[in-house]
Amino acid sequence: MTREPVMPRLVAILLLLLLSNDALAQIMSKPRPPAQGAVSPADIAERLEKSANETARMVPKAARGSAIDFAWPMTAEEYAATAKHVLVLVSVVTQDAAELPLRRVHIRAGGKDIELVRLSHELVGVSKGSRTFSVLGPYREDGFYLAPADAMMAEGYLQADFATRRSDFNLYKLPGTAPDFIRSDKNPVPPPDSKPDLAVVKAMIKREYKGFKPPTFERAMLPFTARLAGLEF
């Protein structure tokens, strides 16, 4: 099969600004222009650093912050092999280690709450000399998730629930911009009797996110939904 160019990936960075001990406000930046090619850990670190610099112009510290990136299937064949799912990378930084690992990542759209499938997560060190460390926090987690294509194209929010204190933390304002062949799908809902081909998912991660630790697809981290109950590892 001929390899097609990598589809554009939209990136958004969310900041949670600490205005006082009791009052919190979230500021989401506008989506960045579509990015081409693979994303590296250094790219995500750079996005967090820019977020920290922006935050520092308004307040000395934030309780937590995040950067996300998502990659749509590149071809119709890959779309079918992933059972109509989108690959999502969520990177969060916090001042409090007790907030990690994330309890869950979910989409709230159309009155529904849809939990994403967590494939893996990893605690990542934050450079002590960085603005990210001093403003957003020293504790960072990177995680890979699968999101239903229909939910990613709906009006709503991609959100995270931290282990403690903070739930429904807005990561991204949906909808995302899907490739034409996915937008033309009249039924982008993952079939209830299908399951993603994890070999294809792993290949996507290696292609789109070079330098990240390959996931081991932790069974314990998967939500037991009817849609994905058939996943095998």
> pLDDT tens digits, residue range 126-137?
999 999 999 999
The per-residue b/e assignment along 42-73, b for 16 or more CB within 10 angstroms, e otherwise, is: ebbbebbbebbebbeeeeeebbbbbbbbbbbb
Q: What is the pLDDT of residue 218?
A: 57
Residue 16 has pLDDT above 90, yes or no: no
Query: Who has greater pLDDT, 48 or 225?
Result: 48
pTM of structure: 0.82
Which three-class secondary structure state does DSSP give residue 182? helix
Residue 132 near residue 45, CB atoms below 8 Å: yes
In the structure, what pLDDT confidence band is assigned to residue 214 with cuts at 50, 70 and 90? confident
Residue 48 near residue 56, CB atoms below 8 Å: no
Residue 18 class from Cβ within 10 Å (0-12 exposed, 13-18 middle, 19+ buried)? middle
In the structure, what pLDDT confidence band is assigned to residue 1 with cuts at 50, 70 and 90? very low
Residue 73 has pLDDT above 60, yes or no: yes
Q: What does the alpha-carbon distance between residue 2 and residue 220 come to, in Å, rounded to a whole number?
A: 36
Round to the nearest angstrom and report the end-to-end CA distance of the chain.
Answer: 26
Residue 69 has pLDDT above 50, yes or no: yes
